[in-house]
Amino acid sequence: MRLDVVISAIAMLATAASGQHSVNCWGKASHPSFNKLRYALGEVEHWVSSVGTDGNTCVDVYCKSHMSIRYCDEGGESRIMPMQNIMDSVKVIAHDCKTEYNGKTVAGGVVDHPDWWSVIVQTEDDRCKQTGPHYYGPADI
């Protein structure tokens, strides 16, 4: 089965199960290529089981190859989020925000959840450029 078919099926299931989140696919120019997003999904998904943050902070889950995936905790207290929840949100963005821009297939945006957390997928931003390629992987546990 092709990976994009699998991603679409998982994204639809995640959307149906949660039913509560909102997706914003803002400016196409800030979307990474769809192929880079698929590669990042495969690379990140099995690194760690969860990601922790302090309240009102964001963590770079993936910052490499001109794209970033960021998990943000908008609540006032620290939280540990299962990596599967973060990756499910990335899959929703891959499904809902996939589009064409300048002859390339791209996907990016933000998924906001009602319990005060979000996931952002975008091209490499200033924060990534300052810190260089990195990811929340086994070395960060």
Q: What is the pLDDT along the chain (141 residues), one digit of tens a residue?
A: 555 544 444 444 444 444 589 999 988 888 899 999 998 888 887 788 899 888 899 888 888 878 899 999 998 899 999 999 999 999 999 999 999 999 999 999 999 999 999 999 998 767 676 665 566 554 333
Is residue 94 a part of any domain in this protein? yes
Is residue 15 a part of any domain in this protein? no
Q: pTM, whole model, 2 decimals? A: 0.77
Is residue 90 a part of any domain in this protein? yes
Give the total number of structural domains in the chain. Answer: 1
Is residue 131 a part of any domain in this protein? no
Is residue 85 a part of any domain in this protein? yes
- Residue 131 has what pLDDT? 62
Is residue 140 a part of any domain in this protein? no
Is residue 135 a part of any domain in this protein? no
Whether 73 and 117 have beta carbons less than 8 Å apart is answered as: yes
Domain range spanning residue 69?
A: 22-122
- Residue 43 has what pLDDT? 84
Is residue 47 a part of any domain in this protein? yes
